[in-house]
Amino acid sequence: MSAAAPVVDGPLVAMLRRVGAVGVFFIRVLAQCLPALARPRLVVHQIYNSGARSLIIIMLCGLFVGMVLGLQGHDLLARFGSEDALGVAAALGLLKELGPVVGSLLFAGRAGTALTSEIGLMKATDQLTAMQMMAVDPLRVVVAPRFLGGLIALPLLVAIFNVVGLFGAQLIGVQVMGVDTGAFWSQMQAAVELDDVAEGIIKSLVFGAACSLVAVYEGYHAAATAEGVGLATTRTVVNSSVLILVLDYMLTAAFL
């Protein structure tokens, strides 16, 4: 494998090669997910690591995104004299777009980088090789639990982001700008459909899978040096962010 003759690729071929490698890796990780779920302790630990430890940043950012929505939404709707629709605007904006996208971007920066550098350092210190020498597949005990942890944690974080965001929008819209409380909540209740909620949930699941996959892939394939781990961590943030936004467009187009 390492003795192969050097192949000269154009950038397009190199990119395709990379996408293919990630795809193959994805399948190998998926194949280890059931065995990993058989011992849920590791997965639960990773949900704690990726999820619980990202709670504060998710809640803080959710609050401010919601407050900005309250201000901007109020300003925009007031021009048409329909401030009462602020609840609907905030709810739909958060549920369908801002919650999944901003939540995932934060997740990539907070939890994704931690996953990449952790796996990369385990590789750099021979821990992954040691596992293989003990006849233990690191994909099963290291990679799959982390992938599953991210996949499960992100939708939960996005749900919390949305709740705190709505509180923020309400705080500014109703308490500060003076929108009627009853109108804010009742219009929201009347206008938001189950499909809107489902769209947000599906998006956050897809983004969770994408972020976690990128993070574990980059960590697992990091060059086993301090510099390599640093580069891999950077690539995790850049690649997951781009992937989230591209996937967001594709999913939105598919839902509308």
Partner 1 sequence: MSSPIVNDAARTALADVVVDVRNVHYAFGRRAIFSGLDIVARRGRITAFMGPSGTGKTTLLRLITGQIAPTEGSITVFGQDVTSLRQRELFGLRRRMGMLFQNGALLTDLSVFENVAFPLREHTRLPESLIRQLVLTKLHAVGLRGAANLMPAELSGGMSRRVALARAIVMDPEVLIYDEPFVGLDPISMGVIVRLIRQMNEALGITSIVVSHDVEELAAIAHESFLLSQGKVVASGTPAQLRASNLEVVRQFMEGIADGPVPFHYPAPDYFDQLLSRGPR
Could you list the residues that contact partner 1 (CB under 8 A)? Answer: 1-3, 6, 121-122, 125-127, 129-137, 141
CA-nearest of 152, 113, 118 to 138 is 118
Q: For partner 1, which is the closer residue by CB, 14 or 31?
A: 31
Crossing angle of helices 99-107 and 144-170, in 10° steps, is 130
Q: How far apart are CA 70 and CA 139, in angstroms?
A: 45
Contact 150, 45 (CB under 8 A): no
**Closest distance to partner 1 from the beta carbon of 127 (Å):** 5
User: Tokens for 253?
Assistant: 């187009």
In this complex, which beta carbon is closest to partner 1, that of residue 34 or of residue 136? Answer: 136
Contact 172, 70 (CB under 8 A): yes
Provide the minimum distance between the beta carbon of 8 and partner 1 in the complex, in angstroms, as a whole number.
Answer: 15
Considering beta carbons, is residue 46 or 241 the nearer one to partner 1? Answer: 46
19 vs 136, beta carbon nearer partner 1:
136
* CB 44 to partner 1: min, Å: 14
- In the bound complex, what is the minimum distance in angstroms from residue 2's beta carbon to partner 1? 6
Q: Which residues of 64-96 are buried (b: 16+ CB within 10 A; e: fewer)?
A: ebbbebbbebbeebeeeeebbbbbbbbbbbbbb
Judged by beta carbon, residue 134 or residue 253, the one nearer partner 1 is 134
Minimum CB separation of residue 92 from partner 1 in Å reads: 42
- In the complex, least distance from residue 122 CB atom to partner 1, rounded to whole angstroms: 7
Which residues have C-beta within 8 Å of that of residue 211, sequence separation ≥ 6? 104, 107, 108, 111, 112, 150, 154, 240, 243, 244
Q: How far is the CB of 115 from partner 1 (least distance, A)?
A: 13
Q: Using DSSP, state whether 199 is helix, strand or coil.
A: helix
Q: Evaluate whether 54 touches 208 at the Cβ level (below 8 Å).
A: no
Based on CB atoms, which residue is closest to partner 1, 135 or 254?
135
Token pair 């949305």 in the structure block, residue? 162
Q: Which is nearer to partner 1, 142 or 174 (CB)?
A: 142
Contact 90, 166 (CB under 8 A): yes
The answer to whether 145 and 152 have CB atoms below 8 angstroms apart is no
CA angle at residue 164 from 162 to 167, to 5 degrees? 110
